[in-house]
């Protein structure tokens, strides 16, 4: 059998029922995907069992879709350099973002098969010092760690809670539509983890109006997963029970300082892993395709997406 982390029984049942996973065939499925990767002259990819199985599970074990998504995972990174360059755990800006608690990856409850939950405190950072792309870079690095370590995020998906308390114009001006579009396409076409929903909390009326103006840049199915919760509202608890949330959000699942300390330790433990990231990617000159990749088309505002040839 493949050298994978064993799943808790509830998650294994979900993987079989919802993702078409056949445990007895898992080793062969991973081997087939790895052999395909090794035959692609343009693609330099990680090939560990845990990395590859994330794409198989994320594509419900449709091998051709898994190949496509894995190719896109590296192809689209090259088109978003402001996010995927400088992936060092020793970067002081990244460490400061973690220590401020801008991004909170909530602890998973024992034996819980539900989606993982992240809180993004989107307005607590200094916009004169940090760019929106800096925040996203750290978030995506943690997303990759989750992909490797958190089976819930791959099998059951993930939910994001965006805290917009005290949001101001300086924060909204950083939400460049072009970058938002790129990130949305990456999440939809390249990430093996499935987003189950995004909840904006402490939302002022002005933000609701602004959001209506920018949501046209997102694919339709992405906008259907977005929920807005006004300041003072408790409607979030209808979607995410208090037992999953930290104390500061009215919950019972640890405190923000505890979560931050755990995240910093985890982040630093991936120093060597992210150092190796520079070795992986795509070399377009070697791609077996008739035309070069056109990132303007891929990330086009019209929502079109250029399909790649999969051998």
State how far the alpha carbon of 91 is from the alpha carbons of 97, 118, 196, in Å: 10, 22, 30
- Which CATH class, in words, describes the domain spanning 88-269? alpha beta
Higher pLDDT among residues 188 and 96, named by residue: 96
Q: Does residue 134 register a pLDDT over 70? A: yes
From start to end of the chain, where are the E strands?
Answer: 43-44, 103-105, 116-121, 158-163, 195-203, 226-230, 281-282
User: Which tens digit of pLDDT belongs to each residue from 52-75?
Assistant: 999 999 999 999 999 999 999 999
User: Which tens digit of pLDDT belongs to each residue from 279-303?
Assistant: 999 998 888 765 566 666 666 644 4
What's residue 3's pLDDT? 74
Q: For residue 299, give the 3-state DSSP assignment.
A: coil
Domain ranges of the chain: 9-82+277-298, 88-269
| Mean pLDDT score, 16-32 | 97
User: Which tens digit of pLDDT belongs to each residue from 263-274?
Assistant: 999 999 999 999
Are 70 and 77 spatial neighbours (Cβ–Cβ below 8 Å)?
Answer: no
Give the Cα-Cα-Cα angle 97, 101, 104 (nearest 5 degrees). 110
Higher pLDDT among residues 217 and 69, named by residue: 69
Residue 170 CB: number of other CB atoms within 10 A? 11
174 — pLDDT class (breaks 50, 70, 90): confident
What's residue 175's pLDDT? 72
State how far the alpha carbon of 236 is from the alpha carbons of 67, 80, 298, in Å: 37, 32, 34
């Amino acid at each position: 059998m493949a050298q994978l982390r064993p799943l808790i029984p509830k998650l294994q049942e979900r993987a079989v029922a919802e993702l078409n996973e056949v445990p007895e065939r898992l080793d062969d499925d991973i081997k087939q995907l790895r052999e395909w990767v090794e035959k692609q002259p343009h693609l330099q990819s990680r090939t560990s069992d845990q990395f590859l199985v994330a794409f198989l599970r994320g594509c419900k074990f449709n091998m051709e879709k898994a190949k496509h998504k894995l190719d896109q995972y590296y192809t689209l990174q090259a088109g978003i350099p402001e996010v995927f360059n400088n992936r060092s755990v020793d970067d002081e800006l990244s460490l400061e973002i973690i220590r401020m608690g801008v991004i909170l990856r909530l602890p998973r409850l024992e034996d819980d098969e539900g989606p993982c939950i992240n809180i993004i405190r989107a307005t607590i950072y200094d916009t004169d010092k940090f760019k929106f792309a800096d925040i996203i870079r750290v978030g995506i690095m943690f997303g990759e760690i989750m992909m490797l370590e958190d089976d819930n995020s791959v099998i059951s998906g993930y939910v994001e809670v965006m805290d917009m308390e005290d949001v101001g114009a300086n924060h909204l001006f950083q939400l460049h539509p072009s970058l938002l579009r790129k990130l949305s396409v990456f999440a939809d076409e390249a990430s093996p983890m499935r987003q189950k929903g995004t909840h904006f909390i402490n939302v002022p009326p002005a933000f609701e109006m602004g959001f209506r103006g920018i949501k046209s840049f997102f694919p339709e199915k992405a906008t259907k997963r977005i929920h807005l919760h006004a300041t003072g509202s408790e409607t979030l608890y209808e979607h995410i029970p208090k037992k999953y949330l930290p104390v500061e959000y009215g919950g019972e699942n640890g405190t923000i300082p505890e979560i931050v300390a755990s995240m910093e330790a985890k982040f630093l433990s991936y120093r060597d892993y992210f150092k190796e990231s520079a070795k992986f990617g795509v070399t377009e000159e070697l791609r077996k395709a008739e035309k070069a990749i056109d990132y303007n088309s891929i990330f086009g505002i019209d929502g079109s997406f250029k399909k790649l040839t999969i051998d």
